[in-house]
């Protein structure tokens, strides 16, 4: 695969939570990414309260690949049942709202945000509601996004209903590696995110301080997954593309 087939431009850092950027600055970053060959974008309905989706919708052609995420009704804690966080109505309504903001007739990939271990055995009805969107052509692929700290194997009863898993992977969170062989065998697309700990390289950790961005990307790409990389400056875009091109050789 080419370097850009495996790269998703992560847009969480464009939401204003990490750095104040104007809409024009965000649009310029997206246009620069497109001009350098990036065509896949990872976003969510909650990023900038929908503003990031709107900007992507204005900037991207129908050929670009967009992954977005449905927010939970309530942000889940470790003991909250799935029915308090998701329902068929909120899934379908959120998908329609994202479609409107993105200016599209269909979404390439739609994930449930903040999946927790408690839901492993009792989420079939919610996952079936998500898959209804595939059946009517609103969504091409569906899946789950795993929060930081998730460390359980994804149950087969969940895997049979999803196409895509997004999971954290960095110095401190590497559990996903142990399930990768099974996920690949089943044909699931795996996206690894938080490679650089949301841009906060922990210099107090001697192991992390000795690992360069190039080394992190090289090590991650050897896992043969997709990667999500957030970028907020032109230098970061150019530098990460060069890293990825070198790591993919």
CATH of the domain at 102: 3.20.20.100
Per-residue pLDDT reduced to its tens digit, 127-176 = 999 999 999 999 999 999 999 989 899 999 999 999 999 999 998 899 99
Question: Domain containing 74: what range?
Answer: 3-248
pLDDT at 121: 87
Residue 98: pLDDT band (50, 70, 90) is very high
Contact assessment for residue 138 and residue 132, using Cβ atoms and an 8 Å cutoff: no
pLDDT at 209 over 60: no
End-to-end CA distance of the chain: 10
pLDDT at 8 over 60: yes
Residue 38: pLDDT band (50, 70, 90) is very high
pLDDT at 67 over 50: yes
pLDDT at 18: 73
Residues in the chain: 249
Contact assessment for residue 241 and residue 205, using Cβ atoms and an 8 Å cutoff: no
pLDDT at 198: 55
Contact assessment for residue 203 and residue 20, using Cβ atoms and an 8 Å cutoff: no
What are all long-range contacts of 194-198, with beta carbons under 8 Å and residues at least 24 apart? 194/148, 194/168, 194/169, 194/170, 195/169, 195/170, 195/220, 195/227, 195/228, 195/229, 196/170, 196/229, 197/170, 197/171, 197/172, 198/12, 198/13, 198/18, 198/230
Integer Cα distance of 57 and 45 in angstroms: 12
> Does this model's pTM top 0.75?
yes
Residue 192: pLDDT band (50, 70, 90) is very high
pLDDT at 230: 92
Domain count, the chain: 1
Q: How confident is the model over 42-47, as a mean pLDDT? A: 96
Per-residue pLDDT reduced to its tens digit, 172-184 = 899 999 999 999 9
pLDDT at 2 over 90: no
Percent of the chain clearing pLDDT 90 (strictly above) = 74
DSSP 173: B
């Amino acid at each position: 695969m080419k370097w850009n087939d495996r790269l998703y431009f992560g847009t969480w850092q464009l939401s204003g939570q990490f750095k104040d950027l104007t809409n024009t600055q965000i649009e310029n970053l997206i246009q620069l990414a497109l001009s350098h060959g990036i065509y896949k974008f990872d976003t969510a309905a909650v990023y900038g309260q929908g503003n990031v989706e709107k900007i992507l919708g204005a900037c991207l052609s129908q050929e670009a690949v967009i992954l977005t995420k449905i927010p939970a009704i309530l942000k889940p804690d470790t003991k909250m049942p799935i029915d308090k966080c998701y329902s068929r109505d909120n899934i379908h309504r959120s998908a329609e709202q994202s479609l409107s903001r993105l200016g599209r007739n269909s979404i390439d990939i739609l994930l449930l945000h903040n999946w927790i271990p408690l839901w492993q055995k009792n989420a079939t009805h919610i996952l079936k509601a998500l898959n209804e969107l595939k059946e009517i052509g609103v969504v091409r692929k569906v899946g789950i996004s795993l929060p930081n700290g998730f460390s359980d194997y994804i149950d087969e009863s969940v895997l049979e209903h999803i196409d895509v898993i997004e999971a954290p992977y960095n110095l401190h969170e590497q559990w996903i590696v142990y399930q990768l062989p099974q996920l690949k065998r089943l044909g699931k697309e795996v996206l690894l995110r938080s490679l650089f700990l949301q841009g906060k390289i922990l210099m107090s950790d001697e192991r992390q301080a000795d690992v360069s961005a190039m080394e992190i990307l090289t090590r991650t790409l050897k896992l043969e997954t997709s990667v999500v990389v957030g970028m907020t400056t032109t230098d970061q875009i150019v530098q990460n593309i060069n890293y990825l091109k070198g790591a993919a050789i």
